[in-house]
Amino acid sequence: MRRFWLMKSEPDEVSIDDALAAPSRTISWFGVRNYQARNFMRDQMQEGDGVLFYHSSCAVPGIAGLAQVASKPYADKTQFDRKSPYYDPKSTPDAPRWIAIDVRAEKAFPVITLAELKAEPGLSDMRVLARGNRLSITPVTAAEFRLITSRLVKGRK
């Protein structure tokens, strides 16, 4: 069954335009260091799942593009790299603790802002809008995904 996700990235690190400019428009989503988000990647995300590409910690936070999950989960190699900010001394190649997944960008559009998302009655239960939410990967329901892609994305560019 195809699932849907919202994935947060800081555009200063990797923006939707960076992803579109990458070879095969595909980037490795590494650096996740939260167990809940990791478990989504490890246990639930599948190739072809729909992704809302969200820009966070920036001037205009919100959904900036659409993408797809493009690989199975695999060990995030930055966890073994002593020079990486994502290095985890407690992880070993035999039992990798952290996982990455490939994401293929589809399109970018003017950001659907947080204010717009909050103003949409059909999105009132969206996980990413929940108070105090900090998860970098959150599940999106099929209805939410459909509403966003068919109503908010359409006619935006």
Interface ranges with DNA (CB under 7 A): 8, 10, 33-36, 56-58, 61, 114-115, 131-136
Query: Nearest approach, Cβ of 47 to DNA (angstroms)?
Result: 24
Cβ 32 vs Cβ 100: under 8 Å: yes
Nearer to DNA, 25 or 97 (CB): 97
**DSSP letter string, 45-104:** --TT-EEEEEE-SSSS-EEEEEEEE-S--EE-GGGG-TTSTT--TT-BTTB---EEEEEE
Nearer to DNA, 35 or 87 (CB): 35
Query: Nearest approach, Cβ of 23 to DNA (angstroms)?
Result: 26
Query: Nearest approach, Cβ of 53 to DNA (angstroms)?
Result: 13
Contacts of 13 (CB under 8 A, 6+ apart): none
Nearer to DNA, 92 or 133 (CB): 133
Query: Nearest approach, Cβ of 61 to DNA (angstroms)?
Result: 4
The residue type found at 117 is: L
Nearer to DNA, 36 or 48 (CB): 36
Tokens representing 93 are: 């190649």
Cβ 3 vs Cβ 139: under 8 Å: yes
The total number of residues written for the chain in this structure: 157
Query: Nearest approach, Cβ of 40 to DNA (angstroms)?
Result: 13
Tokens representing 62 are: 């919100």
Nearer to DNA, 118 or 154 (CB): 118
